[in-house]
Homo-oligomer: A and B are copies of this chain.
Amino acid sequence: MADFRSDNTLGCSPEIIEALRRASDGSLSSYGADPITGKLRERVRELFETDLEIFPLATGTGANCLAIASMSDPWSAVFCHADAHVYRDESGAPEFFTHGAKLVPIAGGDGKLHARDLDAVFDDILSTGRTATPGCLSLTQATEAGTIYTPDEMREICSIAKKHSLGVHVDGARFANAVATLGCSAADITWRAGVDMLVFGATKNGAMGSELLVVFGGAEGELARRIHRSGHRFSKMRFLSAQFEAYLTDDLWLKNARVANGMAKRLADGLRAIPSVEILRPVEANIVFARFKPETLTALHDDGFEFYDWSLFGPGSVRLVTGFSTTEAEIDRFVASATEHSKR
């Protein structure tokens, strides 16, 4: 019927497959010295309107943790939202890559960190010198709650982080969805706001597996060695770069994100018309959190719709994720079924 479990249960854009096919022929230098990666670097510099370095990687977990580790010592604190993927869903991957840094979870409404809360938390952990040294702040954009930081919010948060000597990392698994909503330049919510490293995701938005670690300001330090040492250095790197180049060509990244975001909006609009359904978070990207009557959920599952319960947000809560290949027909089928079942 429709699969709203996650953006990673969906497939891959044909443009990306075609780019892989084109890249598959002939011999090229390995480990990123190939012209496809070289061209991608130039393209990303244009997009972000600045000098920068890129590291094509295959998984978001790896890319995020490598960025975090390169900005931390083993005795540092890494701050993040209490619902952040790096805190809740990675089996301690950041602790592994950092050799034991302390992940400090921070609460915040709508899945976002709020500038007003940060000074006190940073002070609490960093001021004695005995708990941890400043490592970095990790933000997610769009957040795990499907919400988005504005350029102003980013600037304010980054400024507080800098005051406490923290680097700023952005987990951009859904970065395209954020830019598509904000309509801003990619630079405005990254380096111009104070971000040091961005993991620019493509996997969740139509690629097979390609995440670009973007380092602003030339401080990539030992990243190459950390990437090698953790097994994340692709020998045939051309195939990661080719995916990303296709992703950026003709704004495929934004087109795919606009579809996903639009479908989430259509879904939320449809569900809002059902009296017994409650939308739990602002719908700013491609995720809808909603609460249904338990019997409605059972009926929807029975109909064959796929989605995850999200008891973290209370009983009856579910998470509905749309993606680049979600169709209006899928949305409309789901809304119609939910409407129908809710009447009982």
- A-side residues, CB < 8 A to B, are 3, 5-6, 8-14, 16-17, 20-21, 23-30, 58-63, 65-66, 73-76, 87-93, 95-103, 128, 130-133, 203-204, 208-209, 222, 225, 228-236, 239-240, 306, 325
Contact of A231 among B6, B99, B102, B230 (CB under 8 A): B230
Nearest 5 interchain pairs by C-beta: A62-B231, A95-B100, A3-B27, A8-B235, A61-B231
B residues within 8 A CB of A93?
228-231
By the criterion CB–CB under 8 Å, are B229 and A92 in contact? yes
**How far apart are the CA atoms of A166 and B76 in the complex, in Å?**
26
Check if A59 sits within 8 Å of B233, measured CB to CB. yes
A306 and chain B: residue at smallest CB distance: B27
CB pair B74–A92 under 8 Å, yes or no, is yes
Protomer copies: 4
Given contacts A65-B231, A95-B100, contact A89 B131 (CB under 8 A): yes
Shortest distance between the CB of A237 and any CB in chain B (Å): 9
Shortest beta-carbon distance from A119 to chain B in Å? 15
Q: Is B91 within 8 A of A75, CB to CB?
A: yes
- A232 B62 Cβ-Cβ under 8 A: yes
What residues of chain B lie closer than 8 Å to A59, measured between beta carbons?
A: 58, 231-235
A195 nearest CB across to chain B (Å): 21
Q: Contacts A9-B30, A229-B75, A231-B62 given: A89-B128 contact, CB under 8 Å?
A: yes
Nearest-neighbour CB distance to chain B for A99, whole angstroms, equals 5
Give min CB distance, A202 to chain B, whole Å: 11
B239 touches A209 (CB 8 A): yes
- Sample (21) of A-B pairs whose CB atoms are under 8 Å apart: A11-B26, A14-B24, A20-B20, A20-B208, A58-B59, A59-B235, A62-B231, A63-B231, A65-B231, A74-B92, A74-B95, A75-B91, A88-B130, A89-B128, A92-B100, A92-B229, A93-B228, A96-B100, A99-B99, A99-B100, A203-B235
Residue of B nearest to A87 (CB): B131
* Centre residue among A13, A14, A27, A101 by max chain B CB count within 10 A: A27
Known: A59-B234, A75-B91. 20 other contacts (CB 8 A): A9-B29, A9-B30, A11-B24, A12-B23, A17-B17, A17-B20, A17-B24, A20-B208, A58-B58, A58-B59, A59-B232, A62-B230, A65-B231, A74-B96, A75-B222, A88-B130, A93-B229, A95-B101, A96-B100, A96-B230
Whether the Cβ atoms of B239 and A208 lie closer than 8 Å is yes
List, in ascending order, chain B residues with CB within 8 A of A13's CB.
Answer: 24
The residue on B at minimum CB distance from A100 is: B95
The CA-CA distance from A308 to B231 in the complex, in Å, is 23
Flag if A229 contacts B30 (CB, 8 Å): no
Name the contact of A61 in the complex, choosing from B75, B90, B208, B233 (C-beta under 8 A). B233
- Across the interface, A209 reaches (CB within 8 A) one of B58, B61, B62, B91, namely B58
